[in-house]
Structure 1
């Protein structure tokens, strides 16, 4: 059996979408993204910590350049297996955040989840919704997914608005689904299928 790091839709760059902040696209994460990843996530701790999985220890300790190198190695190893596709979100060629297609399953399932974060310096100008839209289209065309899902805290109004704008519909509530900022939290499950994406419903 021939082993390869190439899989449907990976590695690849997406088309661009024009936004109020500039032209948005997705590209594979690079080792060189570490400086901005560390800087942006430390600057946005007050925004990210309340909505992301619990980080053991101090936030800054989990967001050093050394930790980036470790995270990057883990992400690229999973990408080589085709089970997780880690993208950088770019605005006019500059690193602006991260988007991941995870638990990529083919066969009779053909589904994955999508997760993302965008640096606050780019917020409010359509970057997040454009990035998620690009991620969904890439998953459904290049990767071959039939369904994309996401989970979001009930209280995360901004992220719920982004997902709704892209076309995700609410499917249910996952009780005590993830350990967030020190406690188990409920999450709203949303989903989107190829048929819904094509019809805009």
Structure 2
């Protein structure tokens, strides 16, 4: 589940969300890529909370449910990891996923991420 979805139902919330992301892109703390198939955007993947001083960032992703289970997100995460380590020269990436989000957790494990804790 995407925790921010419930809070983004009104126009003002959506505008503020996009302003936050654009500001992050401008100052280097956020990078967004879209996932496409069949000539349409089917999801996105991003790096957020990028800290070039410590070399750390977090990965987020989502895909339309009709495209899940096709290895698309796993491939996107692998590419983003390669870009993060080789181009941005980061040294640590994290994925925070709801424990009930089985699909997202499967992607993280498949790529080689390890569970280091559960936030209560």
Q: Answer yes or no: same fold by TM over 0.5.
A: yes
Find 2:79's aligned residue among 134, 147, 154.
134
Deviation per residue, 1:112-163 (Å, 9 max, x gap): 0001100112111111111111111111111211010011122221111111
- Higher Cα radius of gyration: 1
Alignment of 1:1-201 (within 5 A): 51-54=1-4, 55-56=6-7, 61-62=9-10, 71-91=17-37, 93-107=39-53, 109-175=54-120
More helix by share: 2
Across the aligned residues of Structure 1 and Structure 2, the Cα RMSD in angstroms comes to 2.1
More strand by share: 1
Give ranges in structure 1 of 5+ residues lacking alignment.
Answer: 1-50, 176-201
Relative contact order (alpha carbons < 8 A, sep ≥ 6): 1 or 2 greater? 1
Give ranges in structure 2 of 5+ residues lacking alignment.
Answer: none
- How many residues are paired up? 119
